[in-house]
Structure 1
Amino acid sequence: MSNLIPTGRTDIEWRNESTQKPPKAAVYPAEANADKILKAAYEHTATVWTGDFHNAKQVLAAMKKRVKRPSEKKRAGGGDAVAERSRNIQTAFHAHRMKQAQQSRILNMLAVEIGAGFTLDIPRAPDVKAALADVYGKPNDAPFLLPLNQLLGFIGAHEWHKKGVEIPALGGRIHVPFGVFSPLRGEYLDLIAAALAGSKFQTAFDIGTGSGIIAALLAKHGVPKITATDTNPRAVACACANFCRLDLDNIVIEKTDLFPAGCADLIVCNPPWLPAKPSSAVEAALYDPESRMLEGFLNGAAAHLNDGGEVWLVMSDLAEHLHLREQDFLPQCFQTASLEIAEVLQTRPKHAKAADENDPLAFARGREVTSLYRLKKAV
């Protein structure tokens, strides 16, 4: 989202990768501290930092401590707190999401001015040109304001993009820029790799390819012809780059919604797992409003499947534990789509949040199971 906002000097563009509304105005104070910036933030006014970059990061850290209520740590602890949260699980999830959004909006009120050509002209500022080019592409001609918290995220994402993420199941690295979901949760990749052992699929579709990791895994396991699809331009560019790095010339990528033309022996999809509204482009890989992508994929898969072929769906049951989806939702979707289960492979998540007792959703994450559903056309 971008918009022009008044600053007392001139109107200037405000950029924010989330769906948050822009501030009503922005100010350039000679001096500012965390309390003053927060006071202005609660009045919907952004503060543009013009001092030392490292001091700005310290102020942002102080703001984060202040916007997190002291009572949160206490509630996140003992069994009584867990029992209280569990009484209304769905409400707990939505309250957690709302708090995250509110805190993010307030923290994003500390901004910096990015000059023409992606320059940041404040003392001890790093060179941010490459990080911003990763996000925006062509350098800007006019200055714009950017939340410092997001700029730090862009810088971190750029470093990860250069370094890449080691994928044991692939035997290589996947490089992911900002705006494309990173395959940090490798347990579902292990399920796919196990299912591919001994398979003889000749053609495959990877629906919603994202970074291209699943398509690459299919290619590494000997599927000769693969088509990957996505609607996100950043994902399409990212996947193409990864296929080139891995020297995979048997994958075609198309910018299209769900299915390409034709049929395949294998159709794989790892859709967003939670039926909720995303608050940014990258969250579209996590949240699927009203399960629209999930149902669209399942309802269209049989028409694109060769005889004797399989549909593979990667899905977590976290939504069921959060009471966002009924327990019989998936079986009903399979039946409606004229698909039946041939096999289910399952594993437990291994990421840090799964074992974090202080996570607000720990009561659900602790029971989460990730499944690979191998589906066939119903007889």
Structure 2
Amino acid sequence: MNPPAQLHWLENGIEQSVRWRSESGAPPPRRVVLADDTMGADAAYRLACEGTALLWRGDFHNARQLLQALARRADRKPRRHARASAAGAQASAPSTPAQAFHLHRQAQAQRARVLGMLIIPLAADYAVPLRRAPDFRDACTEAWDADARTARDGADSVVSLRELSGVVGAHEWRKKGVEVASLGGPGHNRIHPHYGVFSPVRGEYVQLVAQAPLPSNTLAFDVGVGTGVLSAVLAHRGVQRVVATDQDPRALACARDNLQRLGLQERVEVVQADLFPTLALYGQAPLIVCNPPWVPARASTPVEHAVYDPDSRMLRGFLDGLAAHLAPQGEGWLVLSDLAEHLGLRPREQLLGWIESAGLAVRGRLDVRPRHPKAGDASDPLHAARAAEITSLWRLGHRQQS
């Protein structure tokens, strides 16, 4: 394992260095200035846009206010755009949905870089040594200490305030949990997402798995378990044994935690694997479920791997390996949104071609329209695609049996 990256800066003429924390693996900024309550938002924004990190030495609440001010400036339309002619504005508009998507991702990345330049110090025990700083030690311990790659090493560190806010937000979500109606009544139907594991806030795909007719209730594989929500739904529906896989240590820990909370740990076995359980150990299953990332694009943070699948690697891996792991009369349930099709990133014909070349046939499909807020947000740059989106459960089987 490589040693942690270090942030370097000069303070009182002495070179300083400290561990740099970045969930995305971004390198530490090369230029660092000390900042406190005397720094104005415009000056801070100018430095951040230039790639200069602001190592905060002032009041913690003022740092939060500064981050909000930076966000407002990052979201503000440039004045030159307001003065642009209608013809010029039309010429600069994206010509295809795919171009709109890539421009949107570029804008998101630039915004994240700018806001990530406000840096907060952390003591070795994750205490924040700033005035009026809350106690975030429990949240940081949950997020980082369970993973050897990010665990504390007895030294001080620094992290962007934006990332620290994400850690704290994940801690609150983990305590509160997400209600999943398909798991029963109140009090027994919550999934608690861990930091870095995608939360099942979009319930339509869970609803599809809860409603599709079961081909068998003896054994199911859940490929890419995440929080464990689909394994829990299958067990709640009466599947006697579920083998759930994932290759992310955080997801494995999260799934085990949730299944234990729900009292399902005896019926769901969680194993580390890239896609399918080992054939020699687990054999074939009459039901195999997979909810791969829906958009074929590069993820910029680990949690985005639940949304973005470069070159459709997981989708193609699931399809290519399904026939070998599927029992003769079994079904593979592929839970997939068609958002990529509406964005011009993956045509329907390509998906159908991959299904056919894998020796599979479509036995049926269940569809549902998303109900998340962005589907109705006309100001979203990707509104047209989101408004047309449909999430489907594809029932796949061996082609010769269709």
TM over 0.5: yes
Q: What is the percentage of aligned positions where both structures have the same residue?
A: 46
Matches of 2:112 and 2:164, distance apart in 1: 13
8 Å contact 1:13–1:144 — kept in the other structure?
yes
1:240 maps to 2:256: yes
Q: Please show how residues 141-290 of structure 1 align to structure 2 within 5 Å.
A: 141-171=154-184, 172-196=189-213, 199-248=215-264, 249-261=266-278, 262-290=283-311
1:22 maps to 2:35: no
Matches of 1:160 and 1:85, distance apart in 2: 38
SS in 1 for 2:24: coil
| Compared CA separation, residues 139 and 12, structure 1 to 2 (3 A) | closer
| Compared CA separation, residues 35 and 84, structure 1 to 2 (3 A) | closer
SS in 2 for 1:254: strand
**Aligned-pair CA distance for 1:40:** 2.1
Q: Please show how residues 1-379 of structure 1 align to structure 2 within 5 Å.
A: 3-9=5-11, 10-30=16-36, 31-70=38-77, 87-137=95-145, 138-171=151-184, 172-196=189-213, 199-248=215-264, 249-261=266-278, 262-379=283-400
Which amino acid letter does the alignment assign opposite residue 255 of structure 2? A
| Compared CA separation, residues 366 and 210, structure 1 to 2 (3 A) | same
Matches of 2:381 and 2:174, distance apart in 1: 29
Number of positions where the alignment pairs a residue of Structure 1 with one of Structure 2: 375
Matches of 2:399 and 2:245, distance apart in 1: 25
| Compared CA separation, residues 32 and 86, structure 1 to 2 (3 A) | closer
SS in 2 for 1:35: helix
Cα distance per residue 1:192-227 (max 9 Å; x no partner): 11114x653311000001001001100000000110
| Compared CA separation, residues 83 and 166, structure 1 to 2 (3 A) | farther
8 Å contact 1:13–1:143 — kept in the other structure?
yes
Structure 1, 315-324 or 17-26: larger mean CA deviation: 17-26
Matches of 1:201 and 1:377, distance apart in 2: 19
Matches of 2:90 and 2:169, distance apart in 1: 33
Cα distance per residue 1:10-52 (max 9 Å; x no partner): 1122111124332103222353232222222233221111222
Matches of 1:21 and 1:318, distance apart in 2: 32
Matches of 1:82 and 1:284, distance apart in 2: 34
TM-score normalised by L of structure 1: 0.94
TM-score normalised by L of structure 2: 0.89
**Aligned-pair CA distance for 1:326:** 1.6
Give the match for residue 77 of structure 1: none
Give the match for residue 85 of structure 2: none
Divergent runs of 4+, >6 A: 81-84
